[in-house]
Structure 1
Amino acid sequence: MDPAQPRTNPMSPVASGASAELFAMEEGQERGQGPRVLKLFRASVSDEMIAREAAASVHAGACGVPTAAAIGRHDRDGRRGLVYPRLDGTTLMAWIRKHPLRAAQAIDAMARLHAVMHHAPGGELRSLQQVLATDIAYGPAPRALQQAATAYLDTLPDGDTLTHGDLHLGNVMMTPKGLMVIDWSKAARGHPAADAVRSEMLMRFGAGPHDWITNLWRDWAARRLRRTYLSATTPVSAADMARWRPVVALAWLRARDAGRTPAFRRYLARALAGAGIRED
């Protein structure tokens, strides 16, 4: 892509998150290329993560996963960026807020989409098992627990499936063409059960409000997501998710405040106990 070509709309970003801002682009449509957006990353995001997001989005699109694949790299005003086709619509979270009585329908659709994704190969993406091992090793858990969990992780079967790593209601778009998955920065090649557990945890303990009413909704939504996913055409069983839950939960501690800390600690303790991993 010629870095002199794209121009962004001088107005405010159309969307903004912790790692990037999204800007509408002025041209592309007149050349039959369709409307585009420029995703400009914040300084804290590594070059490796940007490259991984681009490569994973292209790979996912080539595998038939409904997504907006990166078109190319474009830097602007000293900021690193990726150009994407513009998706018309809203996130599934925003859609549910407008249609709360249809939340079950939306969560079911997301779960079935996740199951479809897990039929795609992981290609040349990084190993999810190695990602989990690194997150556990650099996390806050006591050394003895890290060693026990890493030894347990080594007994789990590796996988060759496309995993998203961050599939939550904010990373699924409701569009006129159906649901579309966005933000592949945490994608990897691994076992689909680990990815399903990660989405369950994001639903229960991810960013957002955690008052007691919302917590009840989160628990319901996580159960619904897991149940619908397991009932879809997926190679994953409830037992598979249980086997991966302790290491995915322990790895979670490296980069996240679990939000509802007491609830997450109970979740982690049950998962570790179920796998025979001692916390002390």
Structure 2
Amino acid sequence: MLTDTHDLETPLFTSRSSKIYAWEGTKLLKLFNDEVDPNLIENEKRNTVEAYTKGVTRVQCYGKITIGTQEGIIIECVKGKTLISLAGTKPAMVFKVPKLMAELQQSLHATHTTVIRSYKEMVFSALDSSYLSFLTLAERQNVIEIISQLPDGDSILHLDYHPDNIMSDGETATIIDWMTAARGVPAADVAATQYLLSEGEMIPGLNKAVRFTLEAIRKQICKYYMKAYKTATGMTDEEIAKWRLPFLIVRLGVWHIDSEIEVLQHKIKDAIHRSMKG
């Protein structure tokens, strides 16, 4: 058993919160950075187990592991590439990805859970984060009233649903990365995806050419994904818009990405003031 991260091979992939390493057989080690909240790691383990049990992902979780000072989870390796990678190398995929995303997400939302945490509780918890301390007492109270009036729900929501979290081998596709999953109403998840595809910061470290290309691709995907999902379900823009403020709060309070903090604070203030005027 490894006791130090220096004993690990070169990571296969690096994200903001973790590194992915090859593990025994067909497994992977997802090792989280030291600053990641242990509760989020526990959430990912529980969420992944529940999603696999309910048949909405092919990613199986085999439990947690500690290496040195870092915690990780052992998961099954899913063969293939992310949809954003496929879209970047095969332009025709740009027209197929939105429909596939909408279909996969509809299946996800048709699956119900009592195990995964409540999204509204997740929002209230994020509101207590120090990153939301910039809000005045009146603004905070307004947010509490807004969130309290929103519907609950028991559909599985991913809340980080975008083409980089969907793996495909060309024949089948599956959703990965369940850290921020919750239970609630489908419109909340659609609002999250809409934000991620149109406003969210892309993975750091990309060169300008790649960033420009991927930015153009994801905005096209967003446009057609939204159309496909709304057409198939009858969901309205008004239903989706109600969940913008909650996701902005979660994005800041849970992710708190340094380069997004100031922008998100401005967007949250704007959303609150709009609701107070409305």
The one of 19, 36, 50 aligned to 1:59:
50
**Does residue 93 of the first structure (1) align with residue 84 of the second (2)?**
yes
What whole-Å deviation, never above 9, does each CA across 1:103-143 have from its counterpart, x for those lacking one? 12112211221111001113222111011123234324443
**Does residue 20 of the first structure (1) align with residue 18 of the second (2)?**
yes
- Residue 199 of structure 1, CA deviation: 0.8
The one of 74, 90, 108 aligned to 1:83:
74
Indicate how the Cα distance of structure 1 residues 215 and 75 shifts in structure 2: closer, same or farther if over 3 A, else same.
Answer: closer
What whole-Å deviation, never above 9, does each CA across 1:235-255 have from its counterpart, x for those lacking one? 844332122223323443442
Aligned to 2:146: 152
Aligned to 1:118: 109
Say which is worse superposed, 131-140 or 40-49, in terms of deviation: 131-140
Aligned to 1:204: 198
Partner Cα distance (2:108, 2:229) in 1: 11
Letter in 1 for 2:187: A
Indicate how the Cα distance of structure 1 residues 250 and 79 shifts in structure 2: closer, same or farther if over 3 A, else same.
Answer: closer
**Does residue 11 of the first structure (1) align with residue 5 of the second (2)?**
no
Indicate how the Cα distance of structure 1 residues 165 and 177 shifts in structure 2: closer, same or farther if over 3 A, else same.
Answer: same
Aligned to 1:31: none
Letter in 2 for 1:11: E
Aligned to 1:38: 29
3-state SS of paired residue (2:242): helix
- Residue 184 of structure 1, CA deviation: 0.7
Indicate how the Cα distance of structure 1 residues 19 and 144 shifts in structure 2: closer, same or farther if over 3 A, else same.
Answer: same
- Structure 2 gaps of 5+ residues are none
Aligned to 1:223: 223
Aligned to 1:173: 167
| Percentage of identical aligned residues | 23
Equivalent residue pairs, number: 263
Letter in 1 for 2:161: L
Letter in 1 for 2:90: H
Aligned to 1:32: none
Structure 1 contact 161–192 (Cα < 8 Å) conserved: yes
Indicate how the Cα distance of structure 1 residues 272 and 160 shifts in structure 2: closer, same or farther if over 3 A, else same.
Answer: farther
Indicate how the Cα distance of structure 1 residues 65 and 107 shifts in structure 2: closer, same or farther if over 3 A, else same.
Answer: same
Partner Cα distance (1:141, 1:228) in 2: 36
Indicate how the Cα distance of structure 1 residues 123 and 38 shifts in structure 2: closer, same or farther if over 3 A, else same.
Answer: same
Indicate how the Cα distance of structure 1 residues 111 and 268 shifts in structure 2: closer, same or farther if over 3 A, else same.
Answer: farther
Partner Cα distance (2:137, 2:183) in 1: 27
3-state SS of paired residue (2:94): helix
Partner Cα distance (1:154, 1:10) in 2: 46
Partner Cα distance (1:177, 1:66) in 2: 15
Larger helix share, 1 or 2: 2
Structure 1 contact 145–278 (Cα < 8 Å) conserved: no
- Residue 269 of structure 1, CA deviation: 4.2
Indicate how the Cα distance of structure 1 residues 259 and 101 shifts in structure 2: closer, same or farther if over 3 A, else same.
Answer: farther
Partner Cα distance (1:72, 1:97) in 2: 33
Indicate how the Cα distance of structure 1 residues 235 and 56 shifts in structure 2: closer, same or farther if over 3 A, else same.
Answer: farther
- Residue 65 of structure 1, CA deviation: 0.4
3-state SS of paired residue (2:110): coil
Partner Cα distance (1:217, 1:42) in 2: 29
Indicate how the Cα distance of structure 1 residues 237 and 106 shifts in structure 2: closer, same or farther if over 3 A, else same.
Answer: same
**Does residue 47 of the first structure (1) align with residue 42 of the second (2)?**
no
Letter in 1 for 2:49: V
3-state SS of paired residue (1:159): coil
3-state SS of paired residue (1:88): coil
Letter in 2 for 1:224: Y
Structure 2 contact 116–182 (Cα < 8 Å) conserved: yes
